[in-house]
C-alpha cells in the first residue's frame, strides 16, 4: 500500500511540474506558427491527463460504503488512472513522431 501511495504521489508531483512548464512553454510559443495545432493539441491532452491524475489522487478507494462499494471505487480509480496514462502516452508519442506538418 505504501509503495502504491509513494508511486502515486511521485507521478502527481511529476505531472504538476509538467503542467507548470507545459503551460509556460505553450504561452511562450503562442506566436510561433510552426506546429501550432499539434502543440496546442498536445497541451490540451496533457492537461486532460493531469486532471485525470488529480482526480485519481482525490478519489482513493475506502471501505466506508462497504466491500462492494470499495471494489467499485477501486475499479473506477484504476480506469481513470489507466486512461490518464494512455492519454499522456499518446500525446507524448504524437509530439515525438508527429512529423513536420
pLDDT tens digits for range 15-63: 889 899 989 988 998 889 988 899 999 999 999 999 999 999 888 888 8
Contact 50, 80 (CB under 8 A): no
Cell numbers representing residue 2 in the block: 505504501
**pLDDT for 100:** 59
Phi and psi, residue 63, nearest 5°: -95, 10
Tell me what percent of the residues of the chain surpass a pLDDT of 70: 96
Separation between Cα atoms, residue 32 and residue 9, nearest integer Å: 34
Signed CA dihedral, 37, 39, 44, 46: sign only: positive
Residue 70 above 60 pLDDT? Answer: yes
Amino acid at each position: 500500500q505504501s509503495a502504491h501511495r509513494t508511486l502515486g504521489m511521485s507521478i502527481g508531483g511529476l505531472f504538476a511540474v509538467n503542467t507548470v512548464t507545459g503551460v509556460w512553454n505553450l504561452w511562450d510559443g503562442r506566436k510561433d506558427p510552426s506546429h501550432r495545432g499539434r502543440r496546442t493539441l498536445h497541451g490540451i491532452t496533457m492537461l486532460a491527463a493531469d486532471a485525470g491524475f488529480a482526480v485519481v489522487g482525490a478519489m482513493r478507494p475506502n471501505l466506508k460504503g462497504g466491500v462492494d462499494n470499495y471494489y467499485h471505487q477501486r475499479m473506477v480509480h484504476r480506469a481513470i488512472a489507466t486512461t490518464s496514462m494512455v492519454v499522456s502516452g499518446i500525446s507524448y508519442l504524437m509530439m515525438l513522431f508527429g512529423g513536420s506538418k
